[in-house]
């Protein structure tokens, strides 16, 4: 394919941010935003590696033993990554026709949040917690995710969740009501002396229980409290079936639309398999199929 | 639509509680019970807001720090909500032809329980726990729920659960038997010295375990007890599949009756849809399909 | 129906235990084993009530406070139930043609275990734990379960589980291997000083973790142990899908064979609904159906 | 079947490792690698028994009380198993045409790891932990598993998981990102004084929570931490549906391709099956159906 012809995905992005018409900015655009050229793919790999290593540094830096031992190495690595990501951010800004739209987009904000904490922590050394914001760099992986071979699976899951969105919302609102009422009930029954110190804490416990997490930091001590908790657990167990059922029904409807797994029926003309049980013609080349067994 | 023509939902309600034939009571009825007029929709929004804020006050009032600081503000807010809900209750009573039927209905009782605790706590200041009954105001949201755009999802979930009711009942009764027998077994094996102080407590532990909540406030200490607990956990894990399977099968049957997710591609010759994304020919009649988007 | 004509279920039982041909033994048989006569149904209800109350007495008797207070009442109730169940056991023995086959059957043994502990505890007063065997009386409810309206749901669940039996067995054997290997790994990594005192205990912990119960009585303390535990939890979470998927797929296949939930298409001749989307004739009266929308 | 004719499975293995053409090596090959002859089946059973007993010895040897009591018996048993497995390993090596390929294969390495620890522990008596590697003998059961009647169920599960592999990978990578970001958030909010001592520990806690295991060894103490944890639990509960949905949709597609559970009733006129239990007419051609059993 001519590398100057934008792919459908690139076209959509171009429509969003303004793909330049030519010149060095188009070349930079193809490297930074697209992954159809060797340089673009190499850039994606470099950025993914940099993100993963820099996140590993953030994580390792939080461990006191490692932090003290490799203080200088971590600081140097951090500045290298910050400079790299800053350059990338600038490149993304200059090579699009609508830089403000990019800066305001979700990934534009995430890109800025990836570099800002390091500069801010240099200016205000006391606000050390800021540095942990750098973990949001992880979100940048999603951008590259969209360009990989896994995009079909990613979209399928996203679509199934989106199609179930309203059902899950209704379900969660009912669960929230149940949890508020039962949490208050346990607050009245058990009271602050057994750890249920106020309604928010009791609701936290009720969520812990109904989702079957069960930390055990707060537990009912009275017989009546334990009875109510038992009913809640069985209730939570039963209703656990509902979100699963919603998502599964949606995924199953999509999966069944694809047809059954490869069956012994293959097209004699083109060799394609995976025909639906009631298909009479090959969906790949139009030849008549042998009858289903 | 002529606002005087009752909607099907309104008709059902009218049949229940007696929709007045006309006059100011019909206008009040349309505002309070229906949501087809601008005034009715505004009333619904006001009531939902009042319920949510008043529940937030009840929750915040249970936190000692907040309760002491905003004592007066909470008391004033509470009386405003109580007066508002009392007026609403009276309005609901006077604008229907069968007020007694309303007062005895589920929502009539909930509406009364929403205001009564405040008056009772004024008369009997010692019974402070009464005030927590106000949390039941949350249930009133369900009434408005029935009138919103989400009613389809709400009914779908309710119908799927109702259709699975008998299967879930049989399942729960078997689980209760298993839990009683295994709880008693652990009571005999572990005994009061390891926290299994009587059969009800052991059954509470067994429910904790089989639902995979696992608080950890009571745990087996002997080897034989741990062996039985291990079998129980694997059993619970396996049977967890059953309620999920029941609800999912029901939801999937309904979802599949709706057909596959909307695909823009249908065969121009025979009209068949549901083609796989990579199909090039109609599997039903062999005609060339339009290309996938 | 002529009460002397055995029902299909009664016929199967008759084939098992020998339904008497006539006389007072047939009448007794109809009362004790069948539920087609008013006396048989009354007997079933009496036995269910006796089982539930006697189990409640066993449970209450284990609570020290209740046990001391109602010692005499519990003892009297227990003897009444024991006599009643003994009489029932004798009745079941005398009214069948093959009493030995009954005595050796599953329910025959359970019936004996329901009464034996009380007599044994009278002879050997020291073996108090014996009395808890009486909880097995609960199993007797299953016999009556088989004769109720819920038998269809009960059989559907039992059949779906039976059809998935081999898949679940293969799955459980793989889980057992994983749990043995990972439990041993944690035993080596964490060691007895962190609670992983031997391989059986570590395997108990691994089952606790992979089933997502998570008591928290034993938890990894080292970083490497926590890392392995994290992998285990994600693994357990992922594989939790497998038994659910097995049972759901089986239940869905059965549910879909029943057809979709009632659709707007009803038969113009007999009014029956619930026709499959591709049905062309009413399955109840054979009339041509209107085409599917 | 002529025992000299290799079965399809044997042919595949022969292609892998080189099935000898004849002589005593072919006879040994049939015993050791195949299970079509009585000697081959007896050998498989012997090896399974030896594996299970030797694993039981490894497990029992880790319990201090048993280890001290049966020290000599365990040592003797261990040497018998080691000699047996060594002989088996040599037999597997000599009877194939490509012994190096066998030695490098997965099962070749597992077979070596089954015997090596005992010899190494004899040479280096201090490295006692080595002996626990023997638990890997369990993996050898999978080889025989492939030759049993359960191979169909085993393959079905393996294929459904393999077909869902990419979807589950995408799902797990999203979960890992969520867990890293939320773990860091809790680390900032709660801090080392509440047990969240560094980001790896916080991520371990986040995995514990989102998978609903909930050990309770680390729990949030602040109100804001508990609020975030509550959102995480509901999130985890909701997303638990996703892997279940993926696997279930795949299994259901395979299960449905098999058709509904065997129903004895088929239409005598058009042959259609899958009639509802209460159908009296064929829904495809309108013919009267035979009565349900």
Reported confidence tier of residue D268, pLDDT bands at 50, 70, 90: low
pLDDT of residue C82: 92
**Domain identity same for A171 and A225:** yes
Contact A199 B62 (CB under 8 A): yes
**Each residue of D161-191: pLDDT tens digit?**
787 777 777 888 888 888 999 999 999 899 8
- Report CA dihedral (A138, A144, A150, A151) to the nearest 10 degrees: 110
Let me know if residue C182 belongs to a domain. Answer: yes
CA distance B88 to B107: 12
**Domain identity same for B140 and B172:** no
Reply yes or no on whether the pLDDT at A15 is more than 70.
no
Q: A110: left (phi > 0), else alpha (psi -120 to 50), else beta?
A: alpha
> A208, A215 in Cβ contact below 8 A?
yes
**Domain identity same for A39 and A139:** yes
Reply yes or no on whether the pLDDT at D123 is more than 50.
yes
Question: What is the CATH number for C228?
Answer: 1.10.287.70
Reported confidence tier of residue A12, pLDDT bands at 50, 70, 90: very low
pLDDT of residue B152: 74
Q: List the single residue in A with minimal CA-CA distance to B206.
A: A230
Instruction: Specify the higher pLDDT residue, A199 or C262.
Output: A199
Reply yes or no on whether the pLDDT at A29 is more than 50.
yes
**Domain identity same for D201 and D128:** no
**Each residue of C142-176: pLDDT tens digit?**
777 665 667 777 777 777 778 777 777 788 888 88
Of the candidates A215, A253, A288, the beta carbon closest to that of B261 is on A253
Reply yes or no on whether the pLDDT at A268 is more than 70.
no
Reply yes or no on whether the pLDDT at D122 is more than 50.
yes
In B95-164, which residue ranges form alpha helices assigned H by DSSP? 99-104, 106-123, 141-145, 151-163
Distance from CA of A128 to the nearest CA of B (A): 30
**Does residue D214 sit at the C interface (CB-CB below 8 Å)?**
yes
State the chains in contact with A (3 or more Cβ–Cβ pairs under 8 Å). B, C, D
Reply yes or no on whether the pLDDT at D249 is more than 50.
yes
Q: List the single residue in D with minimal CA-CA distance to B241.
A: D244
**List of residues 6+ apart from D282 with CB closer than 8 A:** C281, C283, D267, D269, D270, D272, D275, D288, D289
Its domain, for residue A209, covers 163-251
Question: Among D242, D247, D249, D190, which Cα is nearest to D220's?
Answer: D190
pLDDT values of chain B reduced to their tens digit, one per residue, 293 residues: 344 444 444 444 444 778 888 888 888 988 888 878 888 888 988 988 999 999 999 899 889 899 899 989 999 999 999 999 999 999 999 988 888 888 888 888 889 988 888 888 888 877 767 778 888 888 888 777 665 667 777 777 777 778 777 777 788 888 888 899 999 999 989 988 998 999 999 999 999 998 888 898 999 999 999 999 998 888 777 776 777 777 778 777 777 766 555 454 566 666 655 555 555 666 666 677 665 54
**Domain identity same for A179 and A241:** yes
Number of structural domains in chain A: 2
Average pLDDT of the segment spanning A239-263: 70
Q: List the single residue in A with minimal CA-CA distance to B203.
A: A230
**Domain identity same for C208 and C234:** yes
Predicted-assembly ipTM surpassing the 0.85 threshold: no
D197 vs A contacts (CB less than 8 Å) = 64
**Does residue C155 sit at the B interface (CB-CB below 8 Å)?**
no
Of the candidates C181, C209, C280, the beta carbon closest to that of D283 is on C280
Question: What is the CATH number for B46?
Answer: 1.20.120.350
**Does residue A211 sit at the C interface (CB-CB below 8 Å)?**
no
B248 vs A contacts (CB less than 8 Å) = 241, 244-245, 248-249
Average the pLDDT over each of B163-172, B207-216, D61-70, D225-234 and give the range with the smallest value.
Answer: B163-172
CA distance D293 to D289: 12
Contact D226 A201 (CB under 8 A): yes
Distance from CA of C215 to the nearest CA of A (A): 8
Average the pLDDT over each of C57-61, C226-230, D248-252, D266-270 and give the range with the smallest value.
Answer: D266-270
Of A109-123, A146-160, B228-242, the range with the highest mean pLDDT is: A109-123
Reply yes or no on whether the pLDDT at A154 is more than 70.
yes
Let me know if residue B291 belongs to a domain. Answer: no
Q: Specify the pTM.
A: 0.81
Instruction: Specify the higher pLDDT residue, B269 or A199.
Output: A199
Let me know if residue A261 belongs to a domain. Answer: no
Of the candidates A163, A223, A241, the beta carbon closest to that of B247 is on A241
**Each residue of A173-188: pLDDT tens digit?**
888 888 999 999 999 8
Asked which of A108, A123, A150 is the last residue of a domain, the reply is A150
Q: C280: left (phi > 0), else alpha (psi -120 to 50), else beta?
A: alpha
**Domain identity same for A139 and A218:** no
Percent of chain D with pLDDT over 90: 24
Distance from CA of B283 to the nearest CA of C (A): 18
Reply yes or no on whether the pLDDT at D207 is more than 90.
yes
**Domain identity same for D121 and D173:** no
Q: List the single residue in D with minimal CA-CA distance to A127.
A: D188
Contact D209 A212 (CB under 8 A): no
Interface test mutation site (partner A, options C63, C64, C214, C255, max chain A beta carbons within 10 A): C214
Contact C181 D135 (CB under 8 A): yes
CA distance B141 to B99: 21
**List of residues 6+ apart from B91 with CB closer than 8 A:** B28, B32
pLDDT of residue A44: 86
**List of residues 6+ apart from C177 with CB closer than 8 A:** D138, D139, D141, D142
Of the candidates A139, A213, A247, the beta carbon closest to that of D209 is on A213
Reported confidence tier of residue D283, pLDDT bands at 50, 70, 90: low
pLDDT of residue A77: 92
pLDDT of residue B41: 86
Let me know if residue B107 belongs to a domain. Answer: yes
**Each residue of D34-59: pLDDT tens digit?**
878 888 888 988 988 999 999 999 89
Q: List C-alpha distances in Å: C228 to A170, A251, B278, C172.
A: 37, 31, 41, 21
The C residues from 244 to 273 touching D (CB cutoff 8 Å) are 244-246, 248-250, 252-254, 256-259
> B165, C149 in Cβ contact below 8 A?
no
Question: Among C80, C93, C85, which Cα is nearest to C115's?
Answer: C85
**Domain identity same for B183 and B215:** yes
**Does residue A238 sit at the D interface (CB-CB below 8 Å)?**
no
Dihedral angle sign, alpha carbons of residues C55, C58, C60, C66: positive
Distance from CA of B126 to the nearest CA of C (A): 30
**Domain identity same for B180 and B215:** yes
Q: List C-alpha distances in Å: C126 to B96, B185, C34, C120.
A: 69, 19, 39, 10
Let me know if residue B177 belongs to a domain. Answer: yes
Of the candidates D237, D245, D253, the beta carbon closest to that of A261 is on D253
Burial class (CB in 10 A: 0-12, 13-18, 19+), C38: exposed
Let me know if residue C292 belongs to a domain. Answer: no
Asked which of C150, C183, C208 is the last residue of a domain, the reply is C150
DSSP-derived letter for residue B281 is B
Contact A261 D248 (CB under 8 A): no
C248 vs A contacts (CB less than 8 Å) = 248
Q: List the single residue in C with minimal CA-CA distance to B170.
A: C154
Q: Any idea what the Cα angle at residue B225 is, between residues B222 and B226, rounded to 5°?
A: 85
Q: List the single residue in D with minimal CA-CA distance to A130.
A: D188
Let me know if residue C6 belongs to a domain. Answer: no
pLDDT of residue D77: 92
D180 vs A contacts (CB less than 8 Å) = 55, 59, 135, 138
Name residues of chain C where pLDDT drops below 70. Answer: 1-15, 128, 145-149, 240, 257-287, 289-293
Let me know if residue B277 belongs to a domain. Answer: no
**Domain identity same for C176 and C95:** no
Q: List the single residue in A with minimal CA-CA distance to D203.
A: A59
**Domain identity same for C72 and C138:** yes
Q: List the single residue in C with minimal CA-CA distance to B225.
A: C204
Distance from CA of B214 to the nearest CA of D (A): 8
């Amino acid at each position: 394919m001519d590398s100057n012809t934008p792919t459908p995905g690139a076209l959509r992005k171009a429509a969003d941010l303004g793909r330049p018409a030519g010149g060095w900015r188009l070349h930079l655009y193809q490297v930074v935003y697209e992954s159809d050229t060797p340089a673009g793919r190499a850039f994606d790999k470099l950025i993914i590696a940099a993100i993963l290593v820099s996140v590993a540094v953030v994580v390792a830096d939080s461990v006191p033993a490692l932090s003290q031992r490799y203080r200088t190495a971590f600081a140097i690595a951090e500045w290298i990554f910050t400079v790299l990501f800053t350059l990338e951010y600038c490149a993304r800004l200059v090579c699009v026709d609508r830089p403000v739209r990019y800066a305001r987009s979700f990934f534009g904000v995430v890109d800025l949040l990836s570099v800002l904490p390091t500069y801010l922590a240099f200016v205000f050394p006391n606000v050390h917690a800021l540095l942990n914001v750098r973990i949001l760099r992880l979100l940048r992986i999603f951008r590259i995710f969209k360009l990989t071979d896994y995009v079909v699976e990613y979209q399928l899951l996203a679509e199934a969740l989106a199609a179930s969105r309203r059902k899950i919302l209704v379900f969660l609102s009912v669960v929230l009501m149940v949890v508020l009422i039962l949490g208050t009930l346990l607050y009245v029954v058990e009271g602050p002396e057994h750890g249920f110190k106020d309604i928010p804490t009791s609701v936290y416990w009720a969520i812990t229980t109904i989702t079957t997490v069960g930390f055990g930091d707060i537990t009912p001590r009275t017989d009546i409290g334990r009875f109510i908790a038992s009913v809640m657990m069985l209730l939570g167990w039963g209703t656990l079936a509902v979100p699963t059922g919603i998502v599964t029904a949606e995924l199953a409807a999509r999966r069944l639309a694809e047809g059954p797994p490869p069956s012994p029926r293959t097209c004699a003309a083109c060799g394609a398999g995976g025909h639906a049980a009631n298909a009479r013609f090959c969906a790949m080349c139009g030849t008549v199929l042998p009858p289903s067994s």
